């Protein structure tokens, strides 16, 4: 395998070039921008890197890209990735345009580079490096690269159910991952679920002069009051039954979290915060981050938001709210409880007008043999002990792979804590790209020789 | 005077043409657009209509336009108007572009036409009509046309103090006014005061992934909670001492309001409302509209407000809030109480970042002789009994004229209840323009002959 690692170092400029190709193509699922083009480009690059690639239509403009190459052993590793990215707004905060990938100080800046185009290319680069040594891949590989991850993968569930055979594998590597502030690779084994809704309140049929505020209902006030009824200032969600299905973390999960290094100072400084929510720190802070559900205002808008003053009484007010869910909460249950809450609290005028996202939480057991494979490979490549985390605080469609396909799922990737995922100036460090690629090589090699589990 | 009235009918096309000239020039004070140009155009048109006009710089790009013409009597009528307009947003709701004045169905649509360019031209047209008869004006006239009314007239107070002599007069006609739903002319004698502030909450130095909502403070929540603390769902403002200085309406004011016709059905239908705030109707509704102070969210925004879903935790949240003030509340006192409230309620992180407006309430006594002049003139021109209203629910810099200059102030104008002031598709009916112009002629004539009051 040393030849393959050397190839990665040697060909890093070529890989960077191809990564820039991927990042230059906008692919914003929330805005339906560039998805067909990005799917085609992804398939093209897959072909260039030695895979049989094809597009699997799913009834909209974001076909899934499926890739396959048979390996030397009977084992199969499935890669889950996505070619879509978050909206780039607010544009004015980007130091270089989001879809003009730019290298500065050993980092590549572009919307979607960390989440998750660099991982797509890193995985392809790992295959290319192995194949360059003249040998076949140690395991068969399958790629599922979807174009709707950032809008909640609305079609992935049906796709997985319809393609159980095509997706048959022994394990799955997840789309995200990277090193922590201390340079240790993070291996995470789960995701939170999510419910994403838009709330809307309406008043008069048009904006009116604010002098009428004495007698005309103001939807901005209605929305503010309704939101206030959802969560108190101590972060307790007030929706009746919200916490009913929350499963406490297992003793082993708590143990692993306790053992994980603290990065809170780095995180706090990076975000420019005087302190964390509720004044938490240490073990409590780590537990809350991984094991607590949330209720978050992601956006709110109403009335006049331009420069200066405009004395207007808005006709409509809207908010985007997400709930991160932990086992065994479900988006359906929380949606129903949210609707009931609004009605019961007298806010039947505040409607849930859209349910953008709905995903289940998912976790792979800490003691699964595949976890040991990923862990050992990381130890070898990074030269430090990896950090195992029972779950990320983010969400994704992992449930389809753990529950429907029955696969162990772990993350391994190329980002770092300042990658600014979902934010302006998203970036990766090029050194992380190199090491992440080598990690994939090592995982494939070790997976071939691991004791059987399925 | 019949000749003058006939001239108004005869020359209505020419007046409309000049009104379109005024409306075609954008003059958005909140956005600092076109103010110098509009001041120059206003002075030019004033000259064309027989006034000595000049620009009085006030240290910014919005000079005051002053106009004068001596009349036959020793009396002087001061017209207060403004050439600036509200921002035209949201642009997509305009049926014709806001600065491309368009006549449809006997109405002229344009931003600023009702508030208050049609009044400027109507007053000039009245002078022109009188002068066309070969006689001088019955009273001397002075015009003060400022360019900062829509942003709270920040320089008018000093201007009035500095120009007491220049502005010496016997009475003042205010910039707004018109007919009600029943076609009766409204004569209003007062304005509410206003305090306009922007509240801001800040969290992390940039927007972050909403999965961090477990541990990172969310300024959108902080702002929502802070706003909720300002007013309860029964419309009670919760700021300590907010109502302390509120003077109850006098028995005579209540009597006048009780006698005024009800327009609530017309208003309700026009605004597409199922009902009014707090389920009020009748006398209670009218009293609330005129005599109650308010606390209004005019705008709020934070995080992602585009299409689809973006799972983001905002770094900043802002709201624009106005308070309409009744005698004897003051903007300074309410600002201080607002700041104290935020601190005492634990929201010292929510800052008052801008104080856009600050205006005092003002009222002219119902029994002032000038009120009788305006009333009789309206009765003559409109052929129906005018409605006297002790105060508008809106605000403006009337205080400088009532208190500093000691003048009686009444409104008389060209708008109607569907003029959509401050909203898309602002418009006036051309018939109201004609009658409003004749009303000005009648006021000047009657003022000359009224019993002395000053």
User: How many other C-beta atoms are found inside a 10 Å radius of the C-beta of residue B234?
Assistant: 7
Residues of chain A contacting residue B318, judged by C-beta atoms under 8 Å apart: 305
pLDDT tier for residue B307 given thresholds of 50, 70 and 90 = confident
| From A243-257, A381-395, B342-356, the region with the lowest mean pLDDT | B342-356
Q: In B213-295, at which residue ranges do the beta strands (DSSP E only) sit?
A: none
Residues of chain B contacting residue A394, judged by C-beta atoms under 8 Å apart: 209, 211
A297 contact B CB<8A = yes
Nearest CA in chain B to A33: B307
Q: In A169-314, at which residue ranges do the beta strands (DSSP E only) sit?
A: 171-174, 178-179, 185-188, 190-191, 193-202, 208-209, 296-303, 312-313
The H or E element containing residue B410 is strand B409-411
Dihedrals φ, ψ of A107, to 5°? Answer: -125, 150
B93 contact A CB<8A = yes
- The answer to whether residue A354 scores a pLDDT higher than 80 is no
CB A261 within 8 A of CB A184: yes
B325 contact A CB<8A = no
Nearest CA in chain B to A29: B308
Looking at the partner chain, which of A215, A228, A296 has a beta carbon nearest the beta carbon of B313?
A296
Closest to A448 measured CA to CA, from A229, A135, A195: A135
Looking at the partner chain, which of B30, B214, B221 has a beta carbon nearest the beta carbon of A297?
B221
Read off the pLDDT of each residue in A128-154 and give the average, rounded to a whole number. 94
What CATH class has B2-192+361-449? alpha beta
Interface contact flag, A221 B231, Cβ < 8 Å: yes
Alpha-carbon distances of B152 from A359, B197, B336, rounded to whole Å: 49, 12, 18
Chain B closest-CA separation from residue A329 CA (Å): 16
Interface contact flag, A298 B314, Cβ < 8 Å: yes
| From A50-54, B314-318, B336-340, B395-399, the region with the lowest mean pLDDT | B395-399
Residues of chain A contacting residue B227, judged by C-beta atoms under 8 Å apart: 221, 224
* Residue B9 CB contacts under 8 Å (≥ 6 apart), including other chains: B434
CA torsion through residues A269, A271, A275, A280, sign: negative
Integer-rounded Cα Rg, in Å, for chain B is 23
* Pairing label, strands B351-359, B193-202: antiparallel
For position B58, what pLDDT does the model report? 79
CA torsion through residues A405, A408, A414, A418, sign: positive
CA distance A264 to A270: 10
B392 contact A CB<8A = yes
Residues of chain B contacting residue A61, judged by C-beta atoms under 8 Å apart: none
Torsion of CA A330, A406, A144, A176, to 10 degrees: 60
Maximum alpha-carbon separation in chain B: 79
Interface contact flag, B211 A217, Cβ < 8 Å: no
Residues of chain B contacting residue A292, judged by C-beta atoms under 8 Å apart: 214
Task: Look at the domain A193-246+293-359 and name its fold.
Answer: Alpha-Beta Plaits (3.30.70)
pLDDT tier for residue B432 given thresholds of 50, 70 and 90 = very high
Chain A closest-CA separation from residue B7 CA (Å): 35
Closest to A86 measured CA to CA, from A37, A24, A33, A28: A28
Torsion of CA B304, B308, B312, B314, to 10 degrees: 20
ipTM: 0.84
pTM of the model: 0.84
Read off the pLDDT of each residue in B410-417 and give the average, rounded to a whole number. 95
CA distance B20 to B108: 8
- The answer to whether residue A353 scores a pLDDT higher than 90 is no
| Percentage of chain A lying above the pLDDT 70 cut | 99
User: How many other C-beta atoms are found inside a 10 Å radius of the C-beta of residue A134?
Assistant: 7
Interface contact flag, B312 A299, Cβ < 8 Å: yes
B217 contact A CB<8A = yes
A234, with CB counted inside 10 A (0-12, 13-18, 19+), is: exposed
DSSP character string of B115-149: IIIHHHHHHHHHHHHHHTTT---SSEEEEEEES-G
Reduce the DSSP state of residue A89 to 3 states and report it: coil
For position B63, what pLDDT does the model report? 96
Matching CATH number, A2-191+361-449, of 3.30.2310.20, 3.40.50.300, 3.40.630.10, 1.20.140.150 = 3.40.630.10
Dihedrals φ, ψ of A450, to 5°? Answer: -70, 155
pLDDT in tens, B33-60: 999 999 999 999 999 999 999 999 877 8
Looking at the partner chain, which of B292, B305, B395 has a beta carbon nearest the beta carbon of A301?
B305
A221 contact B CB<8A = yes
B247 contact A CB<8A = no
Read off the pLDDT of each residue in A293-304 and give the average, rounded to a whole number. 97
CA distance B78 to B143: 6
pLDDT in tens, A40-76: 999 999 999 999 999 998 778 899 999 999 999 999 9
CA distance B386 to B197: 36
Ranges of each domain in chain A: 2-191+361-449, 193-246+293-359
A76 contact B CB<8A = no
CA distance B221 to B100: 41
For position B353, what pLDDT does the model report? 84
B301 contact A CB<8A = yes
CB B256 within 8 A of CB B366: yes
Chain A closest-CA separation from residue B388 CA (Å): 18
Closest to A225 measured CA to CA, from B318, B229, B201, B273: B229
pLDDT in tens, B82-107: 999 999 998 999 999 999 999 999 99
A73 contact B CB<8A = no
Task: Show which of residues 182-201 on chain B sit within 8 Å of chain A, judged by CB atoms.
Answer: 192, 194, 196
CA distance A406 to A402: 5
Interface contact flag, B30 A307, Cβ < 8 Å: yes
Reduce the DSSP state of residue B231 to 3 states and report it: strand
For position A356, what pLDDT does the model report? 59
A227 contact B CB<8A = yes
Looking at the partner chain, which of B151, B228, B307 has a beta carbon nearest the beta carbon of A309?
B151
Residues of chain B contacting residue A299, judged by C-beta atoms under 8 Å apart: 220, 302-305, 310, 312, 314
- The answer to whether residue A355 scores a pLDDT higher than 70 is no
CB B320 within 8 A of CB B196: yes
């Amino acid at each position: 395998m040393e030849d393959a690692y050397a190839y990665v170092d040697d060909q890093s400029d070529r890989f960077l070039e191809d990564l820039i190709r991927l990042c230059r193509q906008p692919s914003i699922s929330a805005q339906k921008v560039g998805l067909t083009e990005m799917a085609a480009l992804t398939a093209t690059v897959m072909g260039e890197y030695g895979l049989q690639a094809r597009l699997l239509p799913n009834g909209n403009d974001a076909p899934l890209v499926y890739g396959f190459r048979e390996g030397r052993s009977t084992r199969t590793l499935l890669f889950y990735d996505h070619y879509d990215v978050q909206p780039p707004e607010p544009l004015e905060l980007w130091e270089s345009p989001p879809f003009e990938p730019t290298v500065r100080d050993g980092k590549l800046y572009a919307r979607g580079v960390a989440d998750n185009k660099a991982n797509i290319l890193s995985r392809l680069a790992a295959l290319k490096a192995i194949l360059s040594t003249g040998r076949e891949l140690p395991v068969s590989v399958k790629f599922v690269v979807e174009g709707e991850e950032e809008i909640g993968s609305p079609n992935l569930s049906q796709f997985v159910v319809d393609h159980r055979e095509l997706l048959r594998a022994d394990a799955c590597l997840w789309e995200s991952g990277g090193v922590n502030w201390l340079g240790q690779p993070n291996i995470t084994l789960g995701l939170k679920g999510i419910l994403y809704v838009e709330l809307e309140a309406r008043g008069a049929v048009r904006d009116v002069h604010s002098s009428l505020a004495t007698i005309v209902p103001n939807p901005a006030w209605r929305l503010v009051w309704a939101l206030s009824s959802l969560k108190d200032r101590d972060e307790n969600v007030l929706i009746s039954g919200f916490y009913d299905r929350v499963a406490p973390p297992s003793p082993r999960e708590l143990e692993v979290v306790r053992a994980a290094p603290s990065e809170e100072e780095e995180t706090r400084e990076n975000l420019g915060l005087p302190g964390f929510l509720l004044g938490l720190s240490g073990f409590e802070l780590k537990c809350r981050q991984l094991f607590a559900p949330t209720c978050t205002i992601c956006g709110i808008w109403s009335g006049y938001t331009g420069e200066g003053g405009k004395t207007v009484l808005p006709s409509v007010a809207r908010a985007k709210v997400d709930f991160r869910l932990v086992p065994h909460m479900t988006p359906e249950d929380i949606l129903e409880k949210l609707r009931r809450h609004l009605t019961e609290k007298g806010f039947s005028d505040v409607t849930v007008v859209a349910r953008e996202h709905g995903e289940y939480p998912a976790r792979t057991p800490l003691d699964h043999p595949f976890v040991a494979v990923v862990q050992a490979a990381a130890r070898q490549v990074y030269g430090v002990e990896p950090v195992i985390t029972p779950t990320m605080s983010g969400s994704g469609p992992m449930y389809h792979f753990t529950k429907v396909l029955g696969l162990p799922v772990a993350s391994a990737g190329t980002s770092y804590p300042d990658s600014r995922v979902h934010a302006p100036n998203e970036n990766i460090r090029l050194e992380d790209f190199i090491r992440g690629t080598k990690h994939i090589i090592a995982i494939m090699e070790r997976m071939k020789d691991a004791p059987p589990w399925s």
